[in-house]
Amino acid sequence: MTSQQPSQHRYKLTLAYDGTDFHGWQKQEPPASEHPELVASTPDDIAEGRVAMRTVQHVVERAVRTVVRERVNVKGASRTDSGVHAGGFFPTGEPGGQVAAFTSEPIADKGVGWPIERGTNGLVRALNGVLPRDVLCLKAEAVPLDFDPIGGAVAKEYTYRIVTGPMRPLWDRRFVFHTWYGMELGPMQRAAALITGEHDFAAFAQASHGRKTTVRTVFGCSVEQTNTDGDKHDPPRFEIRVSGSGFLYNMVRIIAGTLMEVGRGKIAPEQIPAILESKDRKQAGPTLPPQGLRLEWIRYREPSA
């Protein structure tokens, strides 16, 4: 009896994760001599002389390989940094977060791969059964073989959450940035409106961004206080939302830092156009820490008929 010839199926995964204990999304396999403490825990499939840093891509890829019994490669849409989280909701209520994709080549009589007829609900359950507790597969979908999680993205949204005042957060400290200074909402909202649109965001990007152009389009930038009835036991919380076609390295964290400085009265809202025009990173606010940042959703163009 001859083996069935493999046919390819591609799957899109929507993922949520707590980024606190990860070295970002992208796989990193540095020389073992640089990290001798990791040698004992390095999986057998890492190249000799190298070790695996704990990254989201690495643990997701290993989970997929375990489930489908293939040496597949998992490609992610957004290279979130160490400490940055993913997982939110589209305005429609659909789950959002990081998007990744892999291609499977099932061979039925060898029990290899994930055949399309097995369904995606089972794939979600199987992956969540082997993923670590700080990563969750929210959704799996069968997509065309040419689906590209990076090149096919047309919009992304991030949120940045800030807690202010003398009472530092405890239970959600891994997911918010705390500042002792008070902030005023109105000026922040006026400044956010001036960030919206197509601009050269060189002043809002880390110097080593590595991109050919710093022109980006921000579809929306808003600030809301999420606990307007807060008291000393529930200090003021601010949520910054930024959506756009794409972002430069640390761009959202610098936007958040600039809006924080506006809220503190250190930068006037009316200065935003001049900061953009300057293309000078020193004119904008600080790069806020990663823990307050979360990738909410990624939207893709509709497949052609």
What is the set of active-site residues? Answer: 81
In DSSP terms, 273 is beta-bridged to none
Phi, psi (5° rounding) for residue 120? Answer: -90, -20
Q: For residue 2, give both structure tokens.
A: 């001859």
Angstrom distance (rounded) from CA 294 to CA 89: 11
Tell me the CA distances in angstroms from 243 to 143, 192, 205, 213, 302, one per residue in order: 24, 12, 16, 18, 19
Pairing of strands 177-179, 95-96: unpaired
Angstrom distance (rounded) from CA 81 to CA 236: 26
Contacts of 168-174 with CB under 8 Å at 24 or more apart are: 169/235, 173/291, 174/18, 174/20, 174/291
Angstrom distance (rounded) from CA 300 to CA 78: 13
Cα 61 from chain centroid (whole Å) = 16
Angstrom distance (rounded) from CA 185 to CA 240: 11
Instruction: List all residues 6 or more positions away from 154 whose beta carbon is below 8 Å from its beta carbon.
Output: 245, 299, 300, 301
Q: For residue 236, give both structure tokens.
A: 């003021």
278 burial level (CB within 10 Å; 0-12, 13-18, 19+): middle
